[in-house]
Amino acid sequence: MSFEISHRDILGRTGTFHTKNRKLETPALLPVVNPLAQEIPPQVMHERFGCKAIIANAYLIRQHAGTRNIADIHDFLHFPGVIATDSGAYQILRYGEVEVSPREIIGYQEAIQTDIGVILDTPTGSKASRAHAAKTVNETIRRADEAQKVIARRDIAWVGPIQGGLYTDLIAHSAREMSKIGFDVYALGSPTEVMEQYLFTDLVDMIITAKMNLPSNAPFHLFGAGHPFMLALAVALGCDLFDSAAYILYARRNRYLTPTGTLNLGQMSYFPCICDVCAKTGPAEVRSRPTVERTRFLAEHNLSACLQEIETIKEAIAEGRLWELVEVRCRSHPSLLEGLRATKKYQSYMTRTAPSTKRKGILFFDSTSLQRPEYVMHLEKLLRDYAPPGAAKIALLTPATSRRFAELSRSQNLNLLGVNRITHVCLYSPPYGLVPSELEDTFPFSQTESPNEPDFDTLLMMVETLRTYLAQHRNYQTLVLVRSNKEWQVRFARMCKRLCRKTGLRFSCYGEQEILTGLTGILNKEKKHLHRAAKRVPFQKKS
């Protein structure tokens, strides 16, 4: 097996996973198919919807096929693409046991010529006690070790499930041990109940914990995930494969899936989709159809919506726009947004693996965007690698949008790397609290689009950046701030003044007009203050 990665963004990636004689582009959604009751035949999924991979339950097929000999599951399901087969672990979670041994289900999956097989693990679930969760983890590890000894066909891609439920330390232990045993694909088990309850902060913890303890050169599968509104977040966290029956389960309940949530067919007036299924009709007409036809219609739309979202995510990764897509999708539900914000605690890991440059600029929306890896990397590099001019005593902080100031500086032949030697010109613009002017054209500062009025949390972060920078470079003695009459710049100036008062720096603030008409005089005035401060003798109390 091989996994070739084409593009990266955040922890997401596009790639090609090669099985024994087929290949699958990732990220990929594998719709669950049930040969006993399937509204959309697998062949139709492939020919009409362009579906490249599906997943079926090998245990259920084995139970219901009886004595019928299935030489090749591709012929049995009439599907030419990649087929993955589950082992029946979901039935263990739901019913408590299955009528097959781990060794038998491995042999059955090998016999039916599956492309991707799953060992029979012991799922934890989301409601398990810690003691039970630990038991499922240890049993899954034991079965995984035993499975590697009995697997005969190495041309099948074998999946190693990670268990632990909501206990992240158990997930970490499970991931490390499964890595030692070695599998072609790793999967997070038992997340379905977490997703059904919209516990996306817990889901973030589960996925990132597993990813941090697994090899990065293998695909990562999120079991049971298939609603389009959460796929972008899951991909951004590093998930490559998904499987779900949501497209048909929701259809049977008259539910219409969209990238921003779920709609009830009974309450719809219009279809917000122009796929082949929806473009030719409307909700009222579909409601009048018999139950079987209505369910088939909704299943086809839901499948199309899920597959389309995967293509949208892949293009976002290729364009370097995955964060923007994730922010848009996560604002469709408060729990999703909480999940996105929960990634803040993993910033170090995410920035370490994310790309440092992009073909295009970045879009900054509000304080949530402060978590995006490009911004975090910019701050880390500024504070770790940059050193200001040695003679700089005055930090002249001017708005990045003040083009007139830049033109004046050039017309007066003032060196922007150190005006009058002791003055260091820096720029500020949301969300950047300070950028040395000599770095003005570097990524991502010069390639960031942000609102004209930043929110309060963004202003706080800008001031915090300034505080950290000034604390690290103590050669500055004066901060001269240039501002316009924009409300946010006035507030920023007040916050900087309070900062200087606490840190003992001299602070001066000037309007853009004052600077434009008297830059040299103002700088000379600040130099005189520095000269007087240097001569001042500290007061000593007489004995």
Helices (H) and strands (E) in the chain, counts: 21, 20
Same domain, 55 and 170: yes
Same domain, 245 and 392: no
Same domain, 409 and 303: no
Same domain, 185 and 299: yes
> Which residue has 């499930």 as its token pair?
161
Question: Domain end: 353, 375, 398, which one?
Answer: 353
Q: Is residue 509 part of a domain?
A: yes
Confidence (pLDDT) at 520: 67
Confidence (pLDDT) at 58: 92
Confidence (pLDDT) at 412: 46
Question: Domain end: 301, 330, 353, which one?
Answer: 353
Question: Cis before residue 27, ω within 30 degrees of 0?
Answer: yes
Q: Return the CATH number at 455.
A: 3.40.50
Q: Are 307 and 246 in contact (CB under 8 A)?
A: no
Same domain, 410 and 317: no
Show the domain range for 198. Answer: 2-353
Same domain, 138 and 22: yes
Same domain, 338 and 394: no
Residue (of 397, 407, 391) closest to 429 by Cα position: 397
Q: Is residue 39 part of a domain?
A: yes
Q: Is residue 495 part of a domain?
A: yes
DSSP 536: P
**Candidate list 86, 121, 184, 205, residue with the active-site label:** 86
Confidence (pLDDT) at 531: 65
Judged by phi (left if over 0) then psi (alpha if -120 to 50, else beta), residue 70 lies in beta
Same domain, 399 and 348: no
Same domain, 297 and 202: yes
Cα distances from 437 to residues 138, 285, 360, 419, 446, in angstroms, run: 56, 62, 21, 11, 11
Same domain, 132 and 191: yes
3-state secondary structure 93-110: HHHCCCCCCHHHHHHHHH
Q: Is residue 379 part of a domain?
A: no
pLDDT 10s digits, 381-416: 999 999 998 888 889 898 987 555 555 554 444 444
Confidence (pLDDT) at 406: 53
Give CA–CA dist 121/450, Å, rounded. Answer: 48
Q: Is residue 41 part of a domain?
A: yes
Same domain, 135 and 272: yes
Instruction: Identify the sign of the CA torsion 212, 215, 217, 218.
Output: negative
CB-based contacts of 63, cutoff 8 Å, min separation 6: 99
Flag residues of the chain having pLDDT under 50: 410-418, 536-543
3-state secondary structure 482-516: EECCCHHHHHHHHHHHHHHHHHCCEEEEEEHHHHH
Q: Return the CATH number at 127.
A: 3.20.20.105
Confidence (pLDDT) at 324: 96
Number of structural domains in the chain: 2
Residue (of 305, 223, 187) closest to 57 by Cα position: 223
Catalytic residue list contains 205: no
Same domain, 332 and 390: no
pLDDT 10s digits, 407-447: 555 444 444 434 567 888 899 999 999 999 888 888 898 88
Question: Domain end: 310, 332, 353, which one?
Answer: 353
Q: Is residue 402 part of a domain?
A: yes
Confidence (pLDDT) at 534: 60
Residue (of 320, 335, 399, 323) closest to 366 by Cα position: 323
Q: Is residue 332 part of a domain?
A: yes
